[in-house]
Amino acid sequence: MGNLQDSVKARTFDAIVIGSGMSGGWAAKELCEKGLKTLVLERGRDVVHLKDYPTTNMQPWEFEHRGQVPQAIQEANPVVSRCYAFREDAMHFFEKDTEHPYVQEKPFDWIRGYQVGGKSLLWARQTQRWSDFDYEGPARDGFSVDWPIRYKDIAPWYSYVEKFAGISGNKDGLAVLPDGEFLPPLELSCVENYFKDFISKNYSDRHVIYARCAHLTEPKQIHLDQGRGQCQNRNLCQRGCPFGGYFAANSTTIPWALKTGNMTLRPFSVVHSIIYDEKKGKASGVRVVDAHTREVTEYYARIIFVNAAAVNTNLILLNSKSGRFPNGLGNDSGILGKYFAFHNYRGHISAEYHGFPDSTTAGGRPTSAYIPRFRNVHKQETDFLRGYAAGFYAGRFSAPKPEGFGTTLKDNLAKKDPGPWHVGSHMMGETIPKETNFLSLDPVKTDEWGVPLLHFSVAYDDNDDKMVKDFMDQLSEMYTKAGFTNIKTGDSHQAPGLDIHEMGGVRMGKDPKTSMLNQWNQMHACENVFVTDGACMTSTSTQNPSLTYMALTARACDYAVSQMKKNEL
């Protein structure tokens, strides 16, 4: 009996965090800093900052395929191969298609990074706050359910996480995109500045700004204390940064949690389900399958933070069945897995500009310009709901001309004619969460760890199609008026998921009958479980969501610990 008690005690913690990525790293940091003995479960391998970035300092010629992914690997992995960062220098940070299969009832590109740090090693590092135009959107426009919070509730937590993470940006004074705690911005190119000034003079409701990003342009003491250094503009971020120049859990939140002495990190831990105690009326722990040995172990804690990334968080909760919750943990409302949403990245536009012939670009830069949402902001003005943001980039490239023979060819190859400036934009549209976009479990088939295969039934709708057309029309007009030429628009028709901004399924809301979580990201029907990754999102806005996940996580941890101290959790 004693041995059993000792074993249970060794597997008991104050808190368990499922996932070690963008939001899980923050949960680990906050809970450990507040004194909680915290177990962090990661289904993938450990990736230690500096030690486990094998390609970070390699030169192009040191790669066997010069950075390209061999055809055989592409053919074996058609989904992940569509991701822009899946290249020879970073493909070891991606989950391959065959390693964790899923069922596509409708096409969905599920891009995953199973390791300590998760996709924070691979993200594009764009960081924008949401505004009340976003938090009030569902209530105003009559879709989804009302958010249980407003901008004022989360604003101080945006500031809190921005100071620690390090965000480069300008104070732009835009109501649609609140300012934050910024490090100095990098420069825009002369054509980007030209377009910025042109739009400002010709459109009262449209703006071109520097795209805020999670890069240390001028490290503060808090960043030096983390062991991080200034961004070197190498643009090799997906390899893992040896300088810690951008925010990734591996170089920031995870080491910070580790140095408290309160974190136990357990990689290769596939979470099967959350254990519900019928007598106590709350979750008691987590059931884990060892990724290699398939041994099943149970761990216990007073509170559980589910931060497995939106899709896997839905999967874990759907699979956490009990007598009290036969359809998934906390799923009294029946909406678990439903109202799943994403960002619409389909539209793109390119053009040329023949101004500034005496200027060009040199060196690297991890960001660009950005056009915040301008459609349907103050009133409904189109035949579709909500709107889109857009990137904007202008650069000039010297390309040799492989034309002619002999001396002519040699001369052509030696010429450095940069040609015109190339400009381009891509859209990031808000999709409307719908009950018909959902995730579900296979009734029979399981993966190699005994977890049911996940089914995706997620698709675009007419609102998305109209938004793509409007993006092309509006950006074409703006480009034309600015004097850009050779304008080309396109619709990639890419599947949902390739945006890698999955949200919803475990949404926040005021009413337990129509939502899973309250204003503190706390499960309505199981109060010691919190969800603060993309699964918690009620709507998608047009902004990159990662900064909001960080802020929601820090806020929820503060609340959870305060409730524990009052013995209310």
Cα–Cα distance between 6 and 357 in angstroms, integer?
Answer: 75
What 3-state DSSP class applies to 287? strand
Mean pLDDT confidence for 264-280? 98
Query: In this predicted structure, what is the pLDDT of residue 341?
Result: 98
pLDDT band with cut points at 50, 70 and 90 for residue 140: very high
Cα–Cα distance between 321 and 325 in angstroms, integer?
Answer: 5
Mean pLDDT confidence for 94-117? 97
Mean pLDDT confidence for 309-334? 98
Query: In this predicted structure, what is the pLDDT of residue 174?
Result: 98
- Terminus-to-terminus CA distance in the chain, angstroms? 28
CB 60 within 8 A of CB 239: no
Cα–Cα distance between 237 and 245 in angstroms, integer?
Answer: 9
In which element (H, E) is residue 471 found? helix 462-481
Residue 522 is given by DSSP the state B
Cα–Cα distance between 288 and 541 in angstroms, integer?
Answer: 34
C-alpha 484 chain-centroid distance: 32
pLDDT band with cut points at 50, 70 and 90 for residue 308: very high
Q: Is the pLDDT of residue 552 over 90?
A: yes
CB 412 within 8 A of CB 403: yes
**What distances in angstroms separate CA 553 from CA 11, 21, 556, one per listed residue?**
24, 12, 5
Q: Is the pLDDT of residue 350 over 90?
A: yes
Span 13-169+248-341+499-569 CATH architecture: 3-Layer(bba) Sandwich (3.50)
CA angle 242, 247, 39 (to 5 degrees): 95
Long-range contacts of 104-108, Cβ-Cβ distance < 8 Å, separation of 24 or more: 104/456, 105/455, 105/456, 105/457, 106/456, 106/457, 106/458, 106/459, 107/459, 107/495, 107/496, 108/456, 108/458, 108/495, 108/496, 108/497
Cα–Cα distance between 114 and 20 in angstroms, integer?
Answer: 9
pLDDT band with cut points at 50, 70 and 90 for residue 347: very high
Cα–Cα distance between 321 and 404 in angstroms, integer?
Answer: 70
74-88, 405-419, 493-507: least confidently modelled range? 405-419
CB 191 within 8 A of CB 198: no
pLDDT digits (tens, 9 = 90+) for 433-463: 999 999 999 999 999 999 999 999 999 999 9
Contacts of 526 (CB under 8 A, 6+ apart): 276, 282, 283, 325, 329, 330
Cα–Cα distance between 220 and 242 in angstroms, integer?
Answer: 18
What 3-state DSSP class applies to 421? strand
User: What's the alpha-carbon Rg for the chain, to the nearest Å?
Assistant: 24
What 3-state DSSP class applies to 428? strand
pLDDT digits (tens, 9 = 90+) for 28-57: 999 999 999 999 999 999 999 999 999 999
Q: Where are the beta strands (DSSP E) in 12-64?
A: 12-18, 38-41
200-204, 287-291, 417-421, 530-534: least confidently modelled range? 417-421
Q: Is the pLDDT of residue 363 over 90?
A: no
CB 399 within 8 A of CB 387: no
Residue 169, both tokens:
């940006």
**What distances in angstroms separate CA 443 from CA 103, 321, 454, 505, one per listed residue?**
12, 13, 10, 19
pLDDT band with cut points at 50, 70 and 90 for residue 150: very high
Query: In this predicted structure, what is the pLDDT of residue 1?
Result: 55
Cα–Cα distance between 161 and 182 in angstroms, integer?
Answer: 11
Q: Is the pLDDT of residue 4 over 80?
A: no
Cα–Cα distance between 24 and 529 in angstroms, integer?
Answer: 14
Mean pLDDT confidence for 378-390? 97
Q: Is the pLDDT of residue 274 over 70?
A: yes
pTM of the entire predicted model: 0.96
- Domain positions in the chain are 13-169+248-341+499-569
Q: Where are the beta strands (DSSP E) in 238-291?
A: 263-266, 269-277, 282-290
| Residue 168, phi then psi, degrees to nearest 5 | -90, 130
Q: Is the pLDDT of residue 2 over 70?
A: no
Q: Is the pLDDT of residue 187 over 80?
A: yes
CA angle 359, 425, 130 (to 5 degrees): 115
Q: Is the pLDDT of residue 204 over 80?
A: yes
pLDDT band with cut points at 50, 70 and 90 for residue 177: very high
Query: In this predicted structure, what is the pLDDT of residue 544?
Result: 97
Q: Is the pLDDT of residue 416 over 90?
A: no
Query: In this predicted structure, what is the pLDDT of residue 243?
Result: 97
| Mean pLDDT over each residue of the chain, to the nearest integer | 96
Helix, strand, coil % (nearest 5) of the chain? 30, 20, 50
Contacts of 22 (CB under 8 A, 6+ apart): 118, 119, 120, 123, 249, 533, 546, 549, 550
Q: Is the pLDDT of residue 198 over 60?
A: yes
